[in-house]
Amino acid sequence: MRGNNLIKVFYHKEKVGQVALTKDRLCAFEYNSWWLANGFSISPFKLPLEKRVFVANRDPFNGNFGVFEDSLPDGWGALLIDRMLRKNDINPLELSLLDRLAIVGSSAMGALEYQPEAKLSFETGSNNLDYLAAECEKILNGEFSDSLDELVNKGGFSGGARPKVLIKHKDEDWIVKFKSSQDPTDIGKQEYETSLKAKEFGLSMSQTKLFEGKYFGTKRFDRKEGGEKIHMLSVSGALDASHRYPSLDYIDLLNATMLLTRDYREVEKLFRQMCFNIYISNRDDHAKNFSFLFENGVWKVSPPYDLVRSDGPGGEHTTSIAGEGKNPTEKDILKVAKATGIKIDVAKAIINEINNLN
C-alpha cells in the first residue's frame, strides 16, 4: 500500500496517462500516446491535451493536480480512510499522494480510475439507514464502530464534511446524507425541502428523496443507468481554487464556465444558481460545490448540489458576488451579469422570479 512510484490513470478501461512524483514530492503527469490521439483533456485549463510532462504546483493541493485531488476523499471520507488505515497499523501521514490514489482505485466519484489498486478490506453488511446513521455518529464522536469496513465501503470515497453513504435505490446509484455533529436534527428535511424549492425555481436538480422521513438522498449524476461512469471536474479542480477558504468570485466562476463550455446557456444556469444561493442564504458556496460533467464530447454544468442554508466564513459567501460577500444586493447581482455576458433583462427577470418564490 505504501511506496507507489507510478500510478496509471484510466477512463472507461482506456489508459489516460500516468502520474509520478518529482524529487520535491510534486505530481508529474503525462498523457498516454493513444489518449493524445483519441481522448480528451481531463482538465482543460491545467492539463491540455499535449505531449509533455506536466508538473503540479505546490499550492493549493500540496503538490497534486486539481483533477486528481477531486478523486481523493475529503472531510468525512478522509476521516474514515484514515481511521481504517490506523486499524491496519498504517500511519496515514506516511502515505504519499500516489498511495492515496491507489487506495481510491476504481471507487472515485466521477469516471477516473487508478492502478495499481490498493483496496482496503471491505465487508458488505446492512443497508439499514438508521443503523448506518448511528454508526456514523459513533465515528464522529470518536467512538469505536465495528462497522468501519462497511462505512468505508459505502462512503469512504465521497467528498464533503457530512457523513454519507452510497446506496442502490431501485437499481440506481444514490447518495444519502446523515447529520454531522454541527447540524440541526432536521437537516435532511431542510435539504430536501430546499431541493423542491430549487426545482420550482428552475434549477436542473438531480432527483431527490427524503428517506425514512429524515435522511436526504439524491440520485448520483456522475453515473448513468447501468452504472456507466461520467467524468466530473469540480471548479476547485478545474481552476486550482481551494475550497477551504474564499478563493473565487462568481464573476470568475461564470467566465470560466463560458470558456470551458462555450455555451451561454450553461453560464445562465450558474447565474441562476448564484441567485438561489443568495435567496436561501447558502454561504457555503465554495469551489468544490460547483462541478462540470463531460459527456458526448461536451462540457456542461452539473446539476446543483449541497443546496441548504449554511454559514460561510465570517458569515459571508465563500464565493463572493462582485466582491460582496455578506449582504449582496440586486446591484451586486447585476454587476455579475454585466461582467459575464448575462443580458440585463434576463438577469432582472431571474431576480424577479426569486423575489416571487414563496
Q: What is the pLDDT of residues 91-146, one digit of tens each?
A: 999 999 999 999 999 999 999 999 998 877 666 667 799 999 999 999 998 888 88
**33 vs 246, more confident:** 33
Residue 43 sits in the same domain as residue 138: no
Residue 338 sits in the same domain as residue 243: yes
224 inside domain: no
Residue 278 sits in the same domain as residue 185: no
| pLDDT, the chain, mean | 93
Residue 110 sits in the same domain as residue 156: no
Q: What are phi and psi of 175, to 5 degrees?
A: -115, 130
Residue 26 sits in the same domain as residue 93: yes
Residue 42 sits in the same domain as residue 103: yes
Closest of 238, 255, 274, 256 to residue 347, by C-alpha: 274
Task: Count CA atoms within 13 Å of residue 123 on its CB side.
Answer: 9
Which residue in this structure is represented by grid cell 424549492?
197
Residue 293 sits in the same domain as residue 242: yes
pLDDT of 327 above 60: yes
Cα dihedral sign, 95-100-105-107: positive
What's the pLDDT tens digit per position in 244-281? 888 899 999 999 999 999 999 999 999 999 999 999 99
Gyration radius of the chain over CA positions: 20
**305 vs 157, more confident:** 305
Helix, strand or coil for residue 300?
strand
106 inside domain: yes
121 inside domain: no
Predicted local confidence at residue 189, as pLDDT: 97
Query: Among the three residues 91, 115, 139, which one is the final residue of a domain in this structure?
Result: 115
Contacts with 240 (C-beta within 8 Å, 6 or more apart), sequence order: 46, 57, 60, 61, 66
Structural domain boundaries enclosing 157: 129-219
Residue 82 sits in the same domain as residue 148: no
26 inside domain: yes
Query: Among the three residues 86, 115, 144, which one is the final residue of a domain in this structure?
Result: 115
Residue 202 sits in the same domain as residue 235: no
Question: Based on the structure, what is the number of domains in the chain?
Answer: 3
Residue 246 sits in the same domain as residue 343: yes
CATH number of domain containing 149: 3.30.200
Closest of 176, 173, 204 to residue 192, by C-alpha: 176
1 inside domain: no
pTM of the model: 0.94
CA dist 270 and 258 (Å) reads: 10
Query: Among the three residues 115, 139, 162, which one is the final residue of a domain in this structure?
Result: 115
12 inside domain: yes
Residue 351 sits in the same domain as residue 236: yes
